[in-house]
Amino acid sequence: MDRFNATTKKLTSATIQTAFKTKYLFFTGKGGVGKTSIASGTAVTLAAAGKRVLLISTDPASNLDETLGIKLTNHPKPVPGVPGLMALNIDPDVAAEEYRQRVVAPMIGKATDEEISGLREQLSGACTVEIAAFDEFAALLADEGVARDFDTIIFDTAPTGHTIRLLSLPKAWTGFFDINERGASCLGPHSALKNQESRFAAAFDALKDPDRTTVVLVARPELSTLNEAARTSSDLLELQLTNQILVVNGVFLATGKNDRLAQSLEKKSTAALDKVPQSIQRLPRYIVPLKPFNTVGLAALKNLLEDTPASELPIGVAEKSQGVKATFSLAALAKDLAHDEHGLVLVMGKGGVGKTTVAAALAVAVAKFGKPVHLTTTDPAAHLAQTIVGTLPNLTVSRIDPKEESRLYTEKILASKGKNLDVDGLALLREDLASPCTEEVAVFHAFAKTVFEARRGIVILDTAPTGHTLLLLDAAGSYHREMLKKMEESAPGKLTTPLMMLQDSTQSKVLLVALAETTPVSEAAALQDDLRRASIEPYGWVVNRSLAASSTTDPVLMQRAANEHEQLERILNGLATRVAILPLMPDEPVGIELLDQLLALEWK
């Protein structure tokens, strides 16, 4: 690693004490960069040094349980084998129900059953889930309750777009309180919100205090994740979160000179570190070398930030098994879509598994069959245009921009509902539309419009990382129930909702994208269970960036490739009947030519 020492330090048990001095540590970054691994490794290291540490996941699709090897709840739980370390998951559904109970409780005995039922219905949407989880997060930042018992509180956050939304809420809701003195938001009566005002203000103060809060921007040695870190840094500066550190995870050095894939990975690592965006060059920078093992379990976490030679690590290597093979191809799916001339494909999965690449490659293939295809995304942090790079006949690329959709939705509501209101009524409507909930509603309406577009043409939708997408699907479910209630008397059997479209396998196909690693496969399996509870059956799985499907001879990469086979067999022997496997390419599949080549290299 000497060649990197001129501009960086290794993040190790020795340097971690000086790198992270504040009570609150936020680990954020693009999906798949290893936030949970780095956050967990940091927590284990600090606890071993004698600190009382609380590790918290704010990700709606948390995999902290699997990383630590214990079942977590909304309340702190000791981590066996690590004295001084406790952990919890902020479970959005549990938090939402507790929030509803707190809001409804003062009305019991004072309001009718119908009024209470109406309030509970009002509090059933995705926005309530979001703010309830945030309320627990804010209490910790406000140093209430259990927060006082710890020296360090570490937040393992959701992928960037969702996290920026979370960290902006203290400021957004504080501003909403200032302008809305009489109405009600989607969270219930304004009086219920006013009770949280001081907590939110205290949370905002803690976030912007550099002596209390450090934001750790985690990236891979890839330009896309470093550029994402730069954008995140800028967004956080606007929110007055100034104390930031950059950690580059998975820095790789090749062992030999004859492995093109290994040489390419090292070259990309070096080039990326040489081209760290100027806006974050000023930040303290630390690196974590690529390890030959998956960072799941305490043995791996204890070794993550150590320089232990691979030969001395107590991590087993799975034997390479025979007979692992794909059972369908994306190229064949593209041909089927082109033949049908309409249909929706949702590409879903954990952040960082390559959903955008898979969606873009599939869209390019459809377009090359000569059929018009619309490629779009619901991911707040997605940049499809940077993956496509260029234009192709029959291919239209767009994104659902939360800010723009919120603006358009606000204008639409003011033009319709505000048309005949008096001055006071219009002012009250504007106040309600200033609520941060408006953005969630606006994005759902744009999502619904995109879903219905697939009845007339081919639409490929690159979704946000799992947790954010589940909130969107929850909104689809709420809308579905509301529409059924309204239509059951006036026009039974005539209704089609977005949820019904997603449930219809003749119109919609869901592809679950994963890496052949423990956590991404487990998260994809959990997502599949969630989808099935909503009567949505996934069409198939795509295993992306597979080393087992490559021909690497590098010792570290070969060990990681061998470890993949256990997960590939796990998928093929019970999780999915259709599995496509895409190899890790020496050149990142950016641009139409390489996206086209990726499907030609599918592992048969």
pLDDT the model gives residue 312: 47
Q: Rounded distance, CA 138 to CA 162, Å?
A: 16
Q: Which of 30, 58, 59, 232 is catalytic?
A: 59
**Residues β-bridged to residue 458:** 343, 373
pLDDT the model gives residue 319: 46
425 is catalytic: no
Higher pLDDT, 195 or 230: 230
Q: Is residue 169 part of a domain?
A: yes
Rounded mean pLDDT, 88-92:
81
| Same domain for 234 and 336 | no
Element (H, E) at 510: strand 508-514
| Same domain for 515 and 375 | yes
What six digits make up the tokens of 297? 């379990």
- Nearest 10 degrees: CA dihedral of 489, 492, 497, 500? 130
Amino acid identity of residue 117, one-letter, is S
Rounded mean pLDDT, 515-522:
89
Share the mean pLDDT of the chain: 81
Q: Rounded distance, CA 527 to CA 303, Å?
A: 30
Confidence of residue 530 (pLDDT cuts 50, 70, 90): confident
Is the Cβ–Cβ distance between 306 and 529 less than 8 Å?
no
Q: Which of 32, 125, 343, 351 is catalytic?
A: 32
Is the Cβ–Cβ distance between 69 and 298 less than 8 Å?
yes
| Same domain for 512 and 370 | yes
| Same domain for 356 and 235 | no
Q: Which of 8, 13, 36, 232 is catalytic?
A: 36
519 is catalytic: yes
* Least confident residue range of 134-143, 211-220, 545-554: 134-143
Distance set, CA 128 to CA 114, 122, 311, 466 (Å):
20, 9, 50, 18
Exposure string (b/e) for 537-575, b if CB count within 10 Å is 16 or more?
A: ebbbbbbbbbbbbbebebbbbbbbbbbbbbbbebbbeeb
* Least confident residue range of 144-148, 447-451, 467-471, 595-599: 467-471
| Same domain for 348 and 235 | no
Q: Is residue 265 part of a domain?
A: no
Q: Is residue 400 part of a domain?
A: yes
Confidence of residue 219 (pLDDT cuts 50, 70, 90): very high
pLDDT the model gives residue 90: 81
Instruction: Give the helix ranges, DSSP H, for 319-390.
Output: 330-340, 355-368, 384-388
Looking from the CA of 314 toward its CB, the CA atoms found within 13 Å total 7
Phi and psi at 223, nearest 5°, equal -60, -35
34 is catalytic: yes
* Least confident residue range of 189-198, 242-251, 300-309, 417-426: 189-198
Rounded mean pLDDT, 175-187:
51
506 is catalytic: no
Q: Cα–chain-centroid distance for residue 463?
A: 10
Distance set, CA 300 to CA 31, 57, 201, 304, 598 (Å):
20, 19, 39, 6, 32
Distance set, CA 400 to CA 60, 449, 453, 463, 588 (Å):
21, 11, 14, 10, 25
CATH code of the domain covering residue 491: 3.40.50.300
Amino acid identity of residue 477, one-letter, is G
| Same domain for 372 and 236 | no
Q: Is residue 325 part of a domain?
A: no
Q: Which of 37, 62, 357, 387 is catalytic?
A: 37
Q: For the chain, how many structural domains are there in total? A: 2
Tens of pLDDT, residues 220-233: 998 888 988 999 89
Q: Which of 62, 438, 519, 552 is catalytic?
A: 519
| Enclosing domain of residue 192 | 10-213+230-243
CA-based nearest residue to 368, from 463, 454, 462, 458 = 458
pLDDT the model gives residue 82: 94
Tens of pLDDT, residues 16-45: 888 899 999 999 888 778 899 999 999 999
| Same domain for 504 and 388 | yes
Rounded mean pLDDT, 436-442:
74
Element (H, E) at 161: helix 160-179
Q: Hey, CA dihedral for 162, 163, 164, 169, is it positive or negative?
A: positive
| Same domain for 556 and 425 | yes
Q: What single string gives the DSSP state of each residue in 40-76?
A: HHHHHHHHHTT--EEEEE--TT--HHHHHTS---SS-
Is the full-model pTM beyond 0.85? no
CA-based nearest residue to 531, from 476, 457, 581, 582 = 476
CA-based nearest residue to 41, from 8, 72, 10, 71 = 10
**Residues β-bridged to residue 155:** 26, 56
Q: Is residue 295 part of a domain?
A: no
Tens of pLDDT, residues 110-121: 778 777 777 676
Inform me whether the pLDDT recorded for 256 exceeds 80: no
- Nearest 10 degrees: CA dihedral of 415, 419, 425, 431? 0
Instruction: Give the helix ranges, DSSP H, for 325-465.
Output: 330-340, 355-368, 384-388, 402-416, 423-433, 437-453
Q: Rounded distance, CA 446 to CA 398, Å?
A: 12
Higher pLDDT, 354 or 324: 354
Rounded mean pLDDT, 170-184:
54
Instruction: Give the helix ranges, DSSP H, for 49-154.
Output: 64-68, 92-104, 113-122, 126-141
* Rg of the chain on CA atoms, in Å: 24
Is the Cβ–Cβ distance between 389 and 590 less than 8 Å?
yes
| Same domain for 346 and 239 | no
Q: Rounded distance, CA 256 to CA 438, Å?
A: 55
| Same domain for 386 and 239 | no
* Least confident residue range of 147-156, 298-307, 380-389: 380-389
Phi and psi at 416, nearest 5°, equal -95, -70
Q: Is residue 264 part of a domain?
A: no
Exposure string (b/e) for 161-190, b if CB count within 10 Å is 16 or more?
A: bbbbbbbbbbbbbeebbeebeebbbbbbeb
Looking from the CA of 175 toward its CB, the CA atoms found within 13 Å total 10
Q: Is residue 509 part of a domain?
A: yes
Q: Which of 23, 30, 35, 171 is catalytic?
A: 35
Q: Which of 8, 28, 31, 34 is catalytic?
A: 34
Higher pLDDT, 164 or 437: 437
Q: Rounded distance, CA 159 to CA 163, Å?
A: 6
Higher pLDDT, 318 or 79: 79
Length of the chain: 604
Q: Rounded distance, CA 558 to CA 565, Å?
A: 11
| Same domain for 49 and 159 | yes
Q: Is residue 104 part of a domain?
A: yes
| Same domain for 358 and 238 | no
Phi and psi at 11, nearest 5°, equal -85, 105
Residues ≥6 apart with Cβ < 8 Å to 173: 131, 193, 196, 200, 436
